[in-house]
Structure 1
Amino acid sequence: MDKQTLEDIARRLLADGKGLLAIDESTPTCGKRFEDYGIDNTEDNRRDYRALLLSAPGLGESVSGAILYDETLRMKTADGTPFPTMMNDNGVIPGIKVDTGAKDLAGHPSEKVTEGLDGLRDRLAEYHAMGARFAKWRAVITIGDGIPSAACYAANAHALARYAALCQEAGIVPIVEPEVLLDGDHDIDRCHDVTEKTLTRLFAELREQQVHLPGLILKASMVLPGKQAARQADVREVAQATLRCLYASVPASVPGVAFLSGGQSNESATAHLDAMNRIDGGAGPWTLTFSYARALQQPALDAWRGDAANVESAQNALLHRARCNSAAARGQYDPAQERQVA
C-alpha cells in the first residue's frame, strides 16, 4: 500500500467545489427507474444512459469522480471507447461499487448486514487494472423499535473496515458508507444518537484493521428526522445536528465527508450541504461535499426518457444540478440558481 498515492487520489476526489456522481445502481434497480418512463431495461439502453451522463461536456468541472456498477466499468461507448477512458478524458475519476448488497442479519429481524468480502481481493485487483481508483461499500442501518442492535453496529462496521483495508492494499481509495435510513417516525435527536454510534463504532474498527484514515473518504448520512416524523427540521437545524455528530465521531485525519442524499429532494440535499459549509465559514477539519445518485441523476432521466434526441437537454439538466451542488460544496449556493438551467 502506497499511502501517499492513496492520499493524492483522495485529495483529487475532494478537490475544491467538486463531488461525486453515484451511478452504481444494479441492473434490476436501473430497470425500475427506466420502467417509469417506458424505457426497456436493455444493455444498450443502460449503456446509452450512463454514457450521456459521464460524457456531459464539462462534467469534470463539478464532479471529480463517478461510482459505477460492475457492468458499467466494463462497458464501451458506441464508438468502442472504454468507459474509464471516456471518463478520464472528461476529468472524472472512475470508481466502483464492490459490495454485493445488504442481506438479512441472522438472528436480528429487520436488520441488515452487507456482504461481498469473499473474493474481494481478486476483484479489486481486476478493477484497478481496468482503471478504477476508488471504491464504495454501503452498509444499511435501520432505526426502529429496539434497533439498531449492538450486533448490527458491530457486523457492519467490521465489514466496512475489512473492505477498506483490502481496497488500500490494492491501491484503491475506499469510500465507507454507513447509511442511516430515513424510514420511520423518529425525531432528529434519535437520528443523531444512532448516527454518532454508527460512526464511532466504524472508526474504532477502521483503526483495528490499520486502515490509513487520510487515504479514505466517509460517505455519511445527514442527521434528519424520519420521513414520517411529526416535526421536520429546518435547513439550519439539520446542518447543525450533522456537524455536531461529525465532531463527536469522525477523526480530523479523515480528509473529507461526501454526503449521500438519502431520499431528500434535489433542492433539499443541496441546501443542507450549503448550510453546513456556511457554518463557521466551513472551517472544520474535513472537506464537506456531495456523493449523490438520484439527487443528481433524476432531472437528467426526466429529460432523456430514452430518446436520443434529448441527450443534450439531459446533459444540461445533469450539469445544472452538478453546478448547484458544486456551489453548495463551497458554501456559495443561491436558490436563485435553480432557475438557471442551461
Structure 2
Amino acid sequence: MYTEELKATAKAMVAPGKGILAADESYGTANKRFQKLGIPTTEEMRRAYREMLFTASGIGNFFSGVILFDETIRQSTKDGVPFTKVLMDAGIIPGIKLDAGAKPLAKSPNEVVTEGLDGLRDRIKEYYDMGARFAKWRAVITIGDGIPSRRCIEVNAHALARYAALCQEGGLVPIVEPEVLMDGDHTLERSYEVHQETLKTVFYELHRQGIDLDQMILKPSMVIPGENSPNQVSAEEVARATVKCLLDCVPASVPGCAFLSGGQSDEDATAHLNAMNQLFKGQLPWHLTFSYGRALQQAAMQTWGGRDENVAAAQKALYHRAKCNSAAALGEYSRDMEAIAV
C-alpha cells in the first residue's frame, strides 16, 4: 500500500549532504539536561527549546528529517503553528520515536530490552495522520563482563524487526537503531565483535519478519573503543573498522546508515563520519550520514540557556554544527571549519 512512498521517503532521508536531527529526548532526558544548565524543567521550556531548534533559518539545507517525541509532535510555536508544519515548510520530514524505553531484561542482570510493542499499530496510525513519515526504535547493547548475552541480542533484534514490520505496514519508514554502548573499557576489537554479532542478528530477524530493506534506514553506533579504554584509536581506525563491519553485515539494498553519536564529543562524531566518507568515497552501496542528538544540540542548548535573548546565538550554534556534519556526510569536513564563524 505504501511501497513507493516508503522508498521515496527512505531515499530522501539519506540524501547527499543531509542528515537527521534526533530531537526525541523523553521528558526525563530533556529535564536532566535542562537541570545541568539551570533551565526550568517545564513543558513550556521544552516547547520553547524545540521551537528555537526547528525555526533556525537554513537548517533545511542540512537536515532531511527530525525525530520528535510524543510531547513534541503535538506542540506548536508560540504563534500556534504546529511543529510538524514548521518542519515540512522547511523541507524537513517529521519523524517520531516509537519505543517506550529500555527496561531490565528478566534473569539477565546489567542488560536491558526495549519495550513498546503493545498498541503500536494504533500509535503508528495516529502519528501518520499527524504528519510523521518515519519512526525510530532504539535497542541498547552493553559490553561488559560476560555481556552482551546471546539472549539479550536476540530479544532486542526480534523487537526491532517486529517494530519495523508494523511501521512499513502503517506507512512509516523504520529507523532501526541497535546501539552498542561506548560505556566501559573495551578495546576496538571487542567493539567490532559485538557490533558484528548484533548487526548480523538484527538483519536475520528483519529478514524473518519480511522487512523491505529498501524501505528502512539503519542507525548504527560506530565501532569505537570504550570511553574508558586505555587503547584509544585514530579517526581513520574508527572509520576503517566501522565500514568493514557494515560491509560484512549490512545488505546493499539498505539506502543508508545514519549514525548515532553515542556520547562522542561534537567534533569527534563529525570527524569520524568524515573519515568514513573520505576514505570510502564512491565505494559503498549505501549513504553514510548522521542522526545525532547531543552532538548537534549541546552547543545550542548551552548557548540558549532558557533565555529569549539568546535564541539567535543558539540557532547560530545549531546551524554551525549542522553545516559541519553536512560536510562530513560528503567527506568534505576539516577541523579548520570549527574556527570559522558562520
Q: Structure 2-normalised TM-score?
A: 0.99
Partner of 2:332: 332
Partner of 1:91: 91
Matched, 1:264 2:279: no
Matched, 1:124 2:124: yes
Partner of 1:20: 20
Partner of 2:220: 220
4+ residue runs over 6 A deviation: none
Partner of 1:78: 78
What is the distance in 2 between the residues matched to 1:192 and 1:278?
A: 21
Matched, 1:153 2:153: yes
Q: CA RMSD in A?
A: 0.7
Partner of 2:144: 144
Structure 1 contact 282–331 (Cα < 8 Å) conserved: no
What is the distance in 2 between the residues matched to 1:280 and 1:148?
A: 30
Structure 1 contact 276–282 (Cα < 8 Å) conserved: no
Partner of 2:5: 5
Identity %: 59
What is the distance in 2 between the residues matched to 1:26 and 1:167?
A: 20
Write out per-residue CA displacement over residues 20-52 of structure 1, whole angstroms, 9 at most, x where no aligned residue: 000111111111111122111111111110011
Letter in 2 for 1:6: L
Matched, 1:243 2:243: yes
Letter in 2 for 1:59: I
What is the distance in 1 between the residues matched to 2:246 and 2:263?
A: 20
Partner of 1:283: 283
Write out per-residue CA displacement over residues 187-234 of structure 1, whole angstroms, 9 at most, x where no aligned residue: 000000000100000000000000100000000000000111111011
Letter in 2 for 1:309: E
Q: Structure 1-normalised TM-score?
A: 0.99
Letter in 1 for 2:69: Y
Aligned residue pairs total: 342
Structure 1 contact 178–219 (Cα < 8 Å) conserved: yes
Letter in 2 for 1:275: A
SS in 1 for 2:167: helix
TM superposition shift of 1:145? 1.1
Letter in 2 for 1:241: A
SS in 2 for 1:281: coil
What is the distance in 2 between the residues matched to 1:282 and 1:144?
A: 36
What is the distance in 2 between the residues matched to 1:182 and 1:280?
A: 24
Letter in 1 for 2:55: S
What is the distance in 1 between the residues matched to 2:149 and 2:275?
A: 32
What is the distance in 2 between the residues matched to 1:137 and 1:282?
A: 29
Write out per-residue CA displacement over residues 230-257 of structure 1, whole angstroms, 9 at most, x where no aligned residue: 1101110000000010011000010100
